[in-house]
Structure 1
Amino acid sequence: MSGVSHIEQLNSQITTLSETEAAAGSIDIAVEKLRVTDQGLISVSSLGQGDAGNLTIMADQIRLTDSGSLQAEVVAGSQGNIILMADSLLFMRRGALISTNATNEATGGEITIEAPVVLGLDNSDIVANAVQGDGGNISITTQALLGLEFRDFLTPENDITASSQFGLDGIVQIDTPDLEPNQGLIELPSDVTDPSNQISTGCLVAADNSLTVSGRSGLPDSPDIPNSSEVWEDWRPLETEARSATRSMPIENASLTEATDIVIAANGQVEFIAQSETLMAPNQMSCGGRS
């Protein structure tokens, strides 16, 4: 959201404002990217005796530029709170403001920010100040806080303040998750590798190129000589390879024949006999000496 009306000089706003004893409502925003610029304003403030509301924003990126601001300010009631949850970036530039300031005896509100990167440039501020009441608390959880610094009072720089003019100052807590700098790094060997052992040497050329003039259909000896009518013939004897043909003989596998009878010899030796598959002549003697 951005822009200012050229007629009445009204800036673009999303607000829940209370000017009486009633409480201001809350605003919850969940988007992929939120951009508030050119004096754009999102506010849950109370200018009367009522309580300020809560402003909660969840987005991948939150960008505040050119005096864009997020406010939950209060005059006399209970403080308003701002909760910002960015998956990748909170970016503030050129007078951007995040404020839960309190006037009179009211207490400054709470500001909670969670983002991997929080970047502030060109006099951008995060403030939870108070006048007679206590300053609010600011909690920032990030892996990189860039440009912004905690200070006791506002300056032309990029400030984070939670002070009170007559009351107690608020608490500013900046948490950086414990990260292992060497996590994910590959340990390289300390010894320098000899490149001569890693690069193969190419083979040298064994012989020079050659050109054979083969007569007609080939190239002449000189550009001044026309092609010859002679045909080149190759009279070299052809070499034939003598191949011996070998014939493999089938190998007969010995088969086992099942015994069909048992014979006990005179010496007591037991013999297993089988009926012969070959027919015997009538006058041929049978096995075991029997006719």
Structure 2
Amino acid sequence: MNLSLKLKLFTAILIGLCFSVSIAELERFEHPAKADGSLSVLVVGDWGRKGNYNQSQVALQMGKTGEKSDIDFIISTGDNFYEDGLTGVDDPAFEESFSNIYTAPSLQKQWYTVLGNHDYRGDVLAQINPILTKKDRRWLCLRSYILNAEIVEFFFVDTTPFRDKYFTETDHTYDWRGVLPRKEYLSNLLKDVDSALSESSARWKIVVGHHTMRSAGQHGNTVELVAKLLPILQANNVDLYINGHDHCLQHISSPDSPLQFLTSGGGSKAWRGDVSWWDPKEMKLYYDGQGFMTLQITLNEIDVVFYDIIGNVLHKWSVTKQVYAAE
């Protein structure tokens, strides 16, 4: 093999390696904090029902609370379009369940969104297509990604492929394009999340996924996440795990670490009427109804507030971190 051919081969291999690394890493986005360094975030999940099941009423109250809290952006915990996701980028459900519902001035901020299991029943590639952002500039939805907001980093994780039952049930069809082979997909995702968390120097680390990890609601604990993702969160000192999936509002504290489990899945259909017993020392809130939550984040404190559909405060919780001179 002559020198020229060797150089070309080496260059091709190098480019291939660089490309492999780049596609394995989680995509990163930046969102500035306020001038004083603080951040205000609204979180809602399980909402996309074309305004039905009180979705419009929840949206109205979100707008009022968002204005009072001067929110910087909104997080959606998934199940964005019921019952079976979007049929394509031209599906009118996008406007009917999103653009035409969240019309308040305070909600015209960036939405950072994850996919839920109902979204996977439709055209997943449509929901993560940049064409939707052209339709509504607020929309950002990817499988897994990182949002750096200065004092805090949010790690959005695609939790639906973790659930074994979705790959065997016959009642529904799921769009697994981009996920198969599943074992490799999950292995790479777990490695990427672990690496990103361990390398993060953010003051606060918050992980967002659709599925419950700890829950007293209808779906209960997601055993696959408890087995595979929870140890990574605990090892990397994650502060909050935020999810939807159960159509309720919920706060469970961890018995063996500072990690808190927050459910905001009350964006529309709720009132399922079932709750499993949970140790009251850990269960700080369980509300079987519609609503949402806010996060007020500063360098040394996070304040969590849960609201019902008419704006009543259901629960407040705060956590602080000592600020040292070296910081």
TM-score normalized with structure 1 length: 0.25
Identify the structure with the greater helix proportion: 2
Q: Could you say which structure has the larger radius of gyration?
A: 1
TM-score between the two structures when normalised by the length of structure 2 = 0.23
